[in-house]
Amino acid sequence: MGVEIERKFLVDHAKWQTLQKPHGMVIKQGYLLTDPEKTIRIRIKDQLSYITIKGKTKGISRSEYEYPIPLNEANELLSSLCEAVISKTRYCITFAGKLWEVDVFNGDNQGLIVAEIELDDENEQFDTPPWLAAEVSDDARYYNSNLSLNPFKNW
Amino acid sequence: MGVEIERKFLVDHAKWQTLQKPHGMVIKQGYLLTDPEKTIRIRIKDQLSYITIKGKTKGISRSEYEYPIPLNEANELLSSLCEAVISKTRYCITFAGKLWEVDVFNGDNQGLIVAEIELDDENEQFDTPPWLAAEVSDDARYYNSNLSLNPFKNW
């Protein structure tokens, strides 16, 4: 089991527009299960596909299990057994020695840009990039599982 | 995607007792999700572990996706994220050129013995072994996912 400890922030759109960005990765994902106790996700990222099981979020930590699966079966699972599918472009940006994953959402979540940092422990300190806006780690609406069921355009 | 077409029968206990049987495999399994639309199962079979996603049963057919996962993570998933775990011993028996999987249930499903045959198409003919009893293909109580939630001892 991995344990995922991450913090999540909104992104200042104006500052983000002016930023020099690396190539983004297109991500398509859907959920076989969205439940307060656990989620089961199918994700296609740059032609690689995974099934990912995550346990209940406790504070900013949660257990995570991820296994590769064939791309054609990932597409079948997304179209036949997942509820709404979300898509986004992910940019990996290093700032002050830490990796930030910035997701620019498409489709029904267009207009939403979210940045995540993965930490080694819950109290780890880090420098915040200038394009960061409010923290939303504790706001369940921003869980990707919830964005698939209740997308940003409906808020 | 695989498609699973199977028929399921009860087993005559008296005839089963007198049968010369091969070595049985111990199977432990639990469900991350049991839903009329789909099930997601974690199974440990003779030290090999899998995650298996099955779609809705249509007649006697259903879609099935199965992926190997590490044994230690299968045990973690069974104990932390699955509801009730069921255990059984499986005997693989060839009769008239066809493979029968006979599951002798333990624990809360003790007393239940079920035989399954996998078919290539829904109308395929096959010979029935003398130890076969009533067919239960259409009885949802015998789904393993349901046996985990409502075991035989409660019937």
Q: Which CA distances in Å does B38 have to A42, A112, A116, B151? A: 14, 31, 31, 19
Concerning whether B67 is annotated as a catalytic residue, the answer is no
CA gap A128, A122 in Å, rounded: 16
pTM score, whole prediction: 0.83
* CATH number of the CATH domain containing B100: 2.40.320.10
Cα B147 to Cα B144: distance, rounded to the nearest angstrom: 5
pLDDT value at residue B126? 95
How far apart are the CA of A4 and the nearest CA of chain B, in angstroms?
15
Closest by CA position to B24, among listed B43, B46, B54, B5: B46
Predicted confidence at residue A4, as pLDDT, reads 80
Q: For residues B40 and B30, is the Cβ–Cβ distance under 8 A?
A: no
User: Is pLDDT above 80 for B120?
Assistant: yes
Spatial distance between the Cα atoms of A6 and A121, rounded to a whole number of angstroms:
9
CB contact under 8 A, A76 and B1: yes
Q: Which residues contact B155 (CB under 8 A, 6 or more apart)?
A: B141
Q: What is the pLDDT of residue A1?
A: 67
- Name the residue among A1, A38, A67 with its Cβ closest to that of B51: A67
pLDDT at B124 over 70: yes
Distance, CA of B64 to CA of B2 (rounded, Å): 5
Using a CB–CB cutoff of 8 Å, tell me whether A36 touches chain B. Answer: no
- Say how far apart CA B26 and CA B47 lie, in whole Å: 9
pLDDT value, residue A59: 76
Domain limits at A90? 2-154
- Among all residues of chain B, which has the CA nearest to that of A52? B51
Q: Is B114 within 8 Å of B152 (Cβ atoms)?
A: no
Question: How high is the mean pLDDT of chain B?
Answer: 93
Given this model, what pLDDT does residue B1 score? 67
Tokens read off for A121: 């422990």
Q: Which residues of chain A have pLDDT under 50?
A: none
pLDDT digits (tens, 9 = 90+) for B42-95: 999 988 999 999 998 777 778 899 999 999 999 999 999 998 899 999 999 999
- Our count of domains for chain B comes to 1
ipTM associated with this complex: 0.80
Confidence of residue B105 (pLDDT cuts 50, 70, 90): very high
Closest CA to A130 of A8, A6, A18: A18
Residue A84: name the closest of A104, A62, A109, A66 by CA: A109
Does the CB of A53 have a partner CB in chain B at under 8 Å? yes
CA-nearest of A58, A12, A67, A15 to A38 is A58
Is the pLDDT assigned to residue B102 strictly greater than 90?
yes
Q: Please indicate whether, in this complex, the C-beta atoms of B81 and A38 are within 8 angstroms of each other.
A: yes
What residue in B sits closest to A82 (Cα-Cα)? B38
Beta bridge partners of A117: A7, A100
List chain A residues with CB under 8 Å of B82. none
Do the chains contact at A53 and B77, CB–CB below 8 Å? yes
For chain A, say whether B36 makes contact (Cβ under 8 Å): no
How far lies A91's CA from each of A24, A30, A39, A116, B86, in Å?
A: 5, 19, 24, 11, 44
List the structure tokens of B53.
């996603």
Hey, are the CB atoms on A80 and B69 less than 8 Å from each other? no
Given CB atoms, is B81 within the 8 Å cutoff of chain A?
yes
Please report residues of B whose CB lies closer than 8 A to that of A80.
55, 63
For the stretch B65-72, contacts whose Cβ atoms lie closer than 8 Å and that sit 24 or more positions apart, written own/partner, are B65/A69, B65/A73, B65/A76, B65/A77, B65/B1, B65/B2, B66/B2, B67/A51, B67/A67, B67/A69, B69/A65, B69/A67, B69/B42, B71/B44, B71/B47
Q: Between B1 and B110, whose confidence is greater?
A: B110
Q: What is the pLDDT of residue B62?
A: 82
Is residue A144 a contact partner of residue A10, using CB atoms and an 8 Å limit? no
